[in-house]
Amino acid sequence: MKILVCISHVPDTTSKINFTDNDSAFDTNGVQFVIGPNDEFGLTRAMWFKEKQGASVDVVTVGEKDAEPTIRKTLAIGADKAIRVDTKPIDAFQVAEEIADVAKNGGYDLVIAGRESIDYNGGMVPGMVAKMIGANFINTCVSLEIENETATAIREIDGGKETLTSDLPLVIGGQKGLVEEKDLRIPNMRGIMMARKKPLEVKAPVAEKPLVEFKKFSKPAPKGDVKLVDAENIDELIDLLHNEAKAI
């Protein structure tokens, strides 16, 4: 089985977010970039298939040279080959086109993507890729087993979970639950040394141009001041909730 894992190069969730150029661009100064958390669950599941079923695992990211440390980390974790499409990811359709081109030409049985990246949170790329390559698609996937040419997946739905079966090829949008958090992998020294010898292919983009142009970003409004009320003063608390907060 041949697996392609989609990797997003995203800011760490603890990063302080600022914008430049009149709030039209994200300021990357001092920002730590990481593998997208949803992608990390997918990569770990792919490694399980490699170790238990002999699958080969390639990873792909759409990004410029600054994304290479992130994708090299996946090689240190155990992926066999990395592919970087050399273009700045701007919109979901553009990213999906690039990934779909890699998937079509690579003959992959399974494409694992995170259900969404944690920077733009669009949640569109995996479904678009599935459509473009003519594969089945299961989103919000929290469990995946494959036997012969049949996949059995569990996905989250409103109010519960749903179990589905699908023939390969298949694209999934994975998330927390696909593996346990305790099973996520940290590269060890041996993996880091081996990663230096693994192939990292830089591929020219195929998409003509992004369809979206970002004009302006803005931060959420700051939280209002907090008013502290003495625990014994119930009347004041009720008055504030009723007349100021309009909560009761």
What are the pLDDT digits (tens) for 32-69? 899 999 999 999 999 999 999 999 999 999 999 999 99
Q: Which of 141, 108, 114, 144 is nearest to 126 (CA)?
A: 114
State the pTM of this model.
Answer: 0.85
Segments in the chain below pLDDT 50: none
Tell me which architecture the domain covering 2-218 has in CATH. 3-Layer(aba) Sandwich (3.40)
Q: Where are the domains of the chain?
A: 2-218
What are the pLDDT digits (tens) for 137-151? 999 999 999 998 899
In what helix (H) or strand (E) does residue 145 lie, and over which residues does it extend?
strand 136-147
Q: Is 96 helix (H, G, I), strand (E, B) or coil?
A: helix
Q: In this structure, how many other beta carbons lie within 10 angstroms of the beta carbon of residue 143?
A: 15
Q: Is 18 exposed, middle or buried (0-12, 13-18, 19+ CB in 10 A)?
A: middle
Residue 125's pLDDT is 94
